[in-house]
Amino acid sequence: MNALILALPVLAALCAAFALLFALARRIDNYGIVDIGWSYAFGAAALAFEALGPGWIVRRVLIGSMVVLWSARLGTHLLIRIAAHHPREDGRYRQLRHDWQSEFKFKMAGFFQLQAASVVLLSVPFMAPAFNAVPALGPLEWAGAALWLLAIAGEALSDAQLAAFKGDPSTAGKVCDRGLWRLSRHPNYFFEWLIWVAYFVFACGSPWGWLGILSPAIILTLLLRVTGIPITEEQLLRSKGEAYRAYQRTTSVFVPWIPRRSP
């Protein structure tokens, strides 16, 4: 079995799953649930690749566990957050309703299918180790696992710090600049990207694993240029105004760094 033969049925299953998710989104009129499905889908895809791949079982179990744990943590975090705000939809999808207007449902159906395809494309770092039969872990695989531990801890901490800030009545309407959020305006995005870097490093221990560079490169582009930071900052500027502009002037946008002095 080669990677393409393995990827095609996974893609077909994901397309069907996202079609059902789209039907649910229409029923509850909240398309933000696609983020939950996208997060959980990586765990499902990794389980399929690692269960069916012919590689060394220890390697398959290790990379599979890394992906499933990350997928479950992120998906559950989003599930709790989206459920708490329902029926209010995430601002990104409210903006798409405005931009797409009468074509919204048609374009959103395609958007859901695009998410299914993106899961398979971004799963390249999980597929390469599934076909590596060498019965030992190499330095790159150990390094990738160690980086993954650091990154997932950082992402979980930044999410917890933001949730605690939002849950504190005394901080209502203010900008979160505590903990990791004092060092970066988007530490959760930074550590999310670092997780993908870790998967790539791990994959480099297997033949053709270098192709996994696509994943952190795509994720970085999305975060910095498309659906991550640009849209998030637009929303925060609308809601926080000058307080967020002041935060922008002193705080690194992505990589955690020492805050600058106010001009």
| DSSP-derived secondary structure for 104-138 | HHHHHHHHHHHHHHHHHHHTHHHHHHHT---SS--
How many angstroms separate the CA atoms of 153 and 94, rounded? 31
| pLDDT tens profile 205-221 | 999 999 999 999 999 99
Task: With beta carbons less than 8 A apart as the criterion, state whether 186 and 220 touch.
Answer: no
Split at pLDDT 50, 70, 90, the class of 113 is: very high
How many angstroms separate the CA atoms of 244 and 139, rounded? 43
For residue 179, pLDDT beyond 60 = yes
pTM of the model: 0.92
Long-range contacts of 253-261 (CB under 8 A, 24+ apart): 253/184, 253/185, 253/186, 253/229, 254/184, 254/185, 254/186, 254/189, 254/190, 254/223, 254/224, 254/229, 255/184, 255/190, 256/180, 256/183, 256/184, 256/187, 256/190, 257/183, 257/184, 258/183, 259/182, 259/183
Domain ranges of the chain: 1-136, 139-263
How many angstroms separate the CA atoms of 132 and 198, rounded? 18
For residue 1, pLDDT beyond 70 = no
Mean pLDDT of the chain: 93
| pLDDT tens profile 139-157 | 999 999 999 999 999 999 9
Split at pLDDT 50, 70, 90, the class of 109 is: very high
| 102-117: average pLDDT | 93
For residue 187, pLDDT beyond 60 = yes
Distances in Å between the alpha carbon of 20 and those of 6, 30, 37, 113? Answer: 22, 14, 10, 11
Place of tokens 């180790």: 129
Task: With beta carbons less than 8 A apart as the criterion, state whether 177 and 251 touch.
Answer: yes
